[in-house]
Amino acid sequence: MAKTNAGNFFEDFTIGQVIEHATPRTVTEGDRALYGALYPTRFALPSSAEFAASVGLRNAPVEELIAFHIGFGKTVPDISLNAVANLGYAECRFHEPVVAGDTLTTRSEVIGLKQNSNGKSGVVYVRSTASNQRGEVALEWARWVMVHKRDVGSAAPETVLPDLAKVVAVGDLVIPEGLDFTEYDFTAAGEPHRFDDYAVGEKIDHVDGVTLSESEHMMATRLWQNTAKVHFNEQARPDGKRLIYGGHIISMARALSFNGLANAQLVSAINGGAHTSPAFAGDTVYAWSEVLDKAETAAPGVGALRLRLVATRNRDESMTLRGEDGKYADGVLLDLDYWAFVPR
Amino acid sequence: MAKTNAGNFFEDFTIGQVIEHATPRTVTEGDRALYGALYPTRFALPSSAEFAASVGLRNAPVEELIAFHIGFGKTVPDISLNAVANLGYAECRFHEPVVAGDTLTTRSEVIGLKQNSNGKSGVVYVRSTASNQRGEVALEWARWVMVHKRDVGSAAPETVLPDLAKVVAVGDLVIPEGLDFTEYDFTAAGEPHRFDDYAVGEKIDHVDGVTLSESEHMMATRLWQNTAKVHFNEQARPDGKRLIYGGHIISMARALSFNGLANAQLVSAINGGAHTSPAFAGDTVYAWSEVLDKAETAAPGVGALRLRLVATRNRDESMTLRGEDGKYADGVLLDLDYWAFVPR
Amino acid sequence: MAKTNAGNFFEDFTIGQVIEHATPRTVTEGDRALYGALYPTRFALPSSAEFAASVGLRNAPVEELIAFHIGFGKTVPDISLNAVANLGYAECRFHEPVVAGDTLTTRSEVIGLKQNSNGKSGVVYVRSTASNQRGEVALEWARWVMVHKRDVGSAAPETVLPDLAKVVAVGDLVIPEGLDFTEYDFTAAGEPHRFDDYAVGEKIDHVDGVTLSESEHMMATRLWQNTAKVHFNEQARPDGKRLIYGGHIISMARALSFNGLANAQLVSAINGGAHTSPAFAGDTVYAWSEVLDKAETAAPGVGALRLRLVATRNRDESMTLRGEDGKYADGVLLDLDYWAFVPR
């Protein structure tokens, strides 16, 4: 009996299948500190227990993306160990803010399957939910990956394509219990810009850049117990390079976006995202944002901004997403579409 | 009066001498997070407070090797600052699981001395005990190091060789209070393999590899307050390379062994270990294990596996420990013999 | 309306102006662990909750320099983002020891202004105070930086030069409440040297060296939320090198000084400091100290040593601060003048 995990192949997935992922993970203050050491984050809410309390949140939530990375990482050994590519995600919503002491567990349900015409691989769609020790949902998301078949000759399953929203509707955003921005302290938060100061279509160049290093991306990826081999082992790829986990770029870009979006305090939903180019140690990453939409919410003083967050290799002051050919411009690493809460 | 510590030389040690090592060290949740950032560990017990509670342990113990590294590190300034070589260890037993908030202190007793025939150095044997703030033993071990003499002309001490067990007897393994694997959650732990699934003589290739980096091994070694110069200072060795602390390789291999030994939840004893070749940044480390023995224990649902854990530079799918000449095969970095607890 | 912070220029500062700096920051046990991973610190007081309690301190204070770096980092976006150079600091006094759970906020007052004769820049003097969530002062300090003018043609302000003490008087050192060294445990602390063993003029070569790495200095600097671009972005300087944050060198040298100054347990004041040469990854840093003064304090068993802490690139066993020309000797990176508390 082979003892090691070879991961699932395309034919191992069936519609409706539920997978309970391994390794429950208790979040600690150590995670918060490491996140702050790895990313230049300065958002006041996860930085300060006092600030969090001042906007109605208890127990000092950690950065939302910590929950995202941990939840996502748990699915890797079962879903994407044999992935050809991570194709996308959608309908990611953050529910209960995660605090130190919470233990996260992730389960996934297979919601779509489509074999590729070449017969060698197929696309698997899963909806995943990370919950805490009280069974409360911390976040949920859908994603789809292209996975190798074990046996090219095996029969194709019936094609099922899930109906995934292109954008999470504002009414579906989850307002953390107690959130209230009416007494929001703009001085402590670092910028004066509020909901009304942002216009749809506006672009913000976040100015700052960070040169990536091997140790940092590996430490981040391990911290989330993400086991994809290509991130840690320079012998795992023909080019001898360690591919940087896409989530590392998301967190880096989100942290850089503080400069101009300091009041986009809470990531509430991720509508979709594309990792458009691989990143490696030595690359210098910059970010820019575009306001895609804005909406009021039911919470006191709380508005929502729908933002495009773009990470680039080298700075692009022109903030060009796509070339005239419609393809992503050279140097674009990440195109992320998300909702954040801002004070009105 | 010289203020800096020159370390002890061979003639500074006497049989029965007790050394109280400096720098008591409080373990924190930060240590747990850093351990998870530095090693790809996914063992459910130290990862999840809920899982630990489900097997009867209170207060969410940290990884056992954290206690080992901290305890061991304290002895370096007194025992091995002038070591020619770390020759071996034996009879390492883990007693009380260490939890965040515990403060560890280490004391050692000299239990053996043997001057080398060249008169320039000698072997010192010590038995060390790391205890918590309540005076409870967290772990104990014996080790022996070859240490320089200060003065080649000084007289040799009477040779005393301690009688050290080659293997810790199963009956001498310490069962943590409350440990009970009868309700063990194999899904959460990540693998279905239990005591009966492992056969003596069985070898497991843990498949995954990690490329080592300078920052990571230095951060780990500092975290344990291990001060051996060769790990931090490229001017300390003629080859200009920083030698990686052997404990870094132990922890890396142990974490890699999750893939195939996910249910080897607790390191209970280390019977012996040899660091057979130096490791440096840039090396890619893999691991394989061999089941050396197995035994039942008195704790409900708990078996013990005696395992050989081998770390290699580059992957060796043949899992060859020694060549035909009886010497360790090329690329073997570590040969560790330990007991772990597994569910029956 | 530009959303990103362009920082303040010389003409933005006025005498008496008060700046409340952004991003309150809660200190955690994660910070303590990361500090220990980044610097080879072994001072017993911040390492052990038990030791801290044994000298009368509650709640296990973190290393004093953690508070210094966090407090200082907060001022960077407002004070020194457009700095030509950090010229110096003075009158830095540590008040209430910082413990995990404390949230630090920094405010600064402009206390001096002097336009340079070239009309392109000027020197700004600020006095800054970092306070905890109860409004208690954690530390305060003065510093002065040379800042670019936005508009060379703008009028020069009236020159005001603050009167800053060259050395904090012993009577002005703040004794942490309860501090009592009468039952000080020298064995746990690691060295036998007490107040009377140190003589004014004595120099101590701390022997050990550490080779610097990119990941480590970036992680440290981010952890303190220090945003100065030159530390993170190899495109931000013409030479393509990342300049290491001066505070990283201070912490490294302070940690290295344990070997010979293990009982200099608490940094109480920083009288002044000069970063005399830039440091880069690959440099190997050593440290030596000179006893500049010593004095008794009102606290039981507590003396104060005024120390010069010098960090050097490569080891200088001659411990030469300046050449015959009066300039800092080659390889001197840091010349720091501080007070520490030692047992009498």
- Give the C-alpha separation, C277 to C334, whole Å: 7
Q: Exposed (0-12), middle (13-18) or buried (19+): which is A133, by Cβ within 10 Å?
A: middle
Instruction: Measure B256 CA to nearest chain C CA, in Å.
Output: 22
How many residues comprise chain B? 344
ipTM value, please give it: 0.96
CA distances from B228 to A33, A193, B254, C273 (A): 27, 51, 22, 30
Least Cα distance to C44 among B24, B4, A33 occurs for B24
Q: Is C20 on the interface with A (CB under 8 A)?
A: yes
The CA distance from C104 to the nearest CA of chain B, in Å, is 19
Of A22, A28, A222, the CB nearest to B187: A22
What is the percentage of chain B residues whose pLDDT exceeds 90? 95
Give me the mean pLDDT over the A87-99 stretch.
Answer: 96
Contact A260, A290 (CB under 8 A): no
Whether residue A1 has pLDDT greater than 80: no
Contact B34 C33 (CB under 8 A): yes
H or E element at residue A267: strand A266-275
Q: What is the pLDDT of residues A158-179, one digit of tens each?
A: 999 999 999 999 999 999 999 9
| R_g of chain C, CA atoms, integer Å | 20
* A260: nearest CB among C4, C225, C227: C4
Chain B's closest residue to A100, CA to CA, is B29
Rounded to whole angstroms, the Cα distance separating C316 from C322 reads: 12
**Chains linked to B by 3 or more Cβ pairs within 8 Å:** A, C
Average pLDDT, chain B: 96
Q: Rounded distance, CA B208 to CA B289, Å?
A: 13
CB-based contact (8 Å) between C213 and chain A? yes
**Max CA pair span of chain C:** 63
Cα nearest neighbour of C187 on chain B: B22
Pick C216's closest partner by Cβ from B23, B77, B219: B219
- DSSP H or E run through C213: none
Chain C residues with CB under 8 Å of B236 CB are 209
Chain A hits for C5, Cβ within 8 Å: 190-191, 259
CA angle C5, C11, C17 (to 5 degrees): 80
Query: With bands split at pLDDT 50, 70 and 90, how would you rate the model's confidence at B1?
Result: low
The encoded tokens of residue B17 equal: 């001498």
pLDDT higher than threshold 90 for residue A294:
yes
- CA-wise closest residue to C290 among C202, C183, C225: C202
CA distance B288 to B230: 27
Read off the pLDDT of each residue in B140-155 and give the average, rounded to a whole number: 95
Range A79-104 average pLDDT = 93
Whether the per-residue pLDDT at A144 is higher than 70: the answer is yes
The count of other CB atoms within 10 Å of the CB of residue A335 is 18
Give the closest of A47, A193, A205 to C23, CB-based. A47
Do B259 and A4 make contact, defined as CB atoms within 8 angstroms? yes
Amino acid letter for position C199: A
Tens of pLDDT along chain C (344 residues) come to: 589 988 899 999 999 999 999 999 999 999 999 999 999 999 999 999 999 999 999 899 999 999 999 999 999 999 998 888 888 999 999 999 999 999 999 999 999 999 999 999 999 999 999 999 999 999 999 999 999 999 999 999 999 999 999 999 999 999 999 999 999 999 999 999 999 999 999 999 999 999 999 999 999 999 999 988 899 999 999 999 999 999 999 999 999 999 999 999 999 999 999 999 999 999 999 999 999 999 999 999 999 999 999 999 999 999 999 999 999 999 999 999 999 999 99
Nearest residue of A to residue B197 by CA position?
A1
Q: Are B106 and B21 in contact (CB under 8 A)?
A: yes
C184 part of contact set with chain B, CB < 8 Å: no
Hey, what are A330's tokens?
């050279």
Q: Other CB atoms closer than 10 Å to residue B150's CB: what's the count?
A: 15
User: Which residues of A fall within a CB distance of 8 Å from B30?
Assistant: 28-30, 33
Shortest distance between the Cα of B87 and any Cα of chain C, in A, equals 24
Q: Position A106: which residue type? A: T
Q: Where are the alpha helices (DSSP H) in chain C?
A: 29-38, 44-47, 49-54, 64-75, 186-189, 214-223, 246-256, 258-261
Residues of A in contact with B262 (CB under 8 A): 22
- Can you tell me the distance from the alpha carbon of B213 to that of B106, in angstroms, rounded to the nearest whole number? 29
Q: Place A85 in a pLDDT band, splitting at 50, 70 and 90.
A: confident
pLDDT at A279: 96
Q: How confident is the model at residue A255 (pLDDT cuts 50, 70, 90)?
A: very high
d(CA A323, CA A328): 6
- pLDDT-derived band at B6 (thresholds 50, 70, 90) equals confident
Phi, psi of B227 (to 5 degrees): -105, 10
Quick one: pLDDT at residue C82? 83
User: Over the stretch B300-330, which tens digit does the pLDDT of each residue have?
Assistant: 999 999 999 999 999 999 999 999 999 999 9
The CA–CA distances, whole Å, from C240 to B214, C248, C344 equal 21, 20, 49
Q: What is the pLDDT of residue B83?
A: 85
Partners of B100 on chain C (C-beta within 8 Å) are 29
Q: Which residue of A has its CA nearest to B288?
A: A4
Say if CB C244 and CB C212 are below 8 A apart: yes
Quick check: C31 and C223 in contact, CB under 8 A? Answer: yes
Segments in chain A forming alpha helices (H):
29-38, 44-47, 49-54, 64-75, 186-189, 214-223, 246-256, 258-261
Can you give the length of chain C in residues? 344
Neighbours of C85 (CB within 10 A): 13
Q: Which residues of C are less than 8 Å from B98 in CB distance?
A: none
Three-class SS of residue C69? Answer: helix
Report the run of H or E that residue B327 belongs to, with start and end. none
Q: Is A282 on the interface with B (CB under 8 A)?
A: no
pLDDT value at residue B84: 85
Amino acid identity for residue C50 in this structure = E
Residue numbers of C between 111 and 170 with CB closer than 8 Å to B? none
Flag if C22 and A187 touch (Cβ within 8 Å): yes
**Given this model, what pLDDT does residue A6 score?**
85
CA-based angle B62:B63:B65, to the nearest 5?
A: 130
Listed residue (B40, B38, B69, B62) closest to B225, CA to CA: B69
Helices A29-38 and C29-38 meet at what angle, rounded to 10? Answer: 50
DSSP-assigned beta bridge partners for residue A115: A122
Query: CA nearest B268: which of B334, B341, B177?
Result: B341
Q: Find chains touching chain A: ≥3 CB pairs under 8 Å.
A: B, C
Instruction: Supply the pLDDT for residue A57.
Output: 97
| Cα(A13)–Cα(A8) distance, integer angstroms | 8
If 0-12 CB within 10 Å is exposed, 13-18 middle and 19+ buried, where does residue A187 land? Answer: middle
Mean pLDDT over residues B195-212, rounded? Answer: 97
What's C80's DSSP letter? I
Question: B39 and chain A: CB distance < 8 Å anywhere?
Answer: yes
CA distance readout (Å), B149 to B21, B124, B236, C265 = 21, 11, 20, 33
| Alpha carbon distances (Å) from A253 to A258, A290, A335, B9 | 9, 13, 10, 53
Q: Per residue in B56-112, pLDDT tens? A: 998 999 999 999 999 999 999 999 988 888 889 999 999 999 999 999 999 999 999
What local confidence, expressed as pLDDT, does residue C1 receive?
53
Which two three-digit tokens encode residue B226? 């291990």
Vertex C299: Cα angle to C296 and C302 (nearest 5): 55
pTM: 0.97
Q: What is the tens place of the pLDDT at every residue in B156-167?
A: 999 999 999 999
Using the Cβ of A211 and the Cβ atoms of chain B, whether some distance falls under 8 Å is answered with: no
- Written as six digits, the tokens of A198 are 């942002």
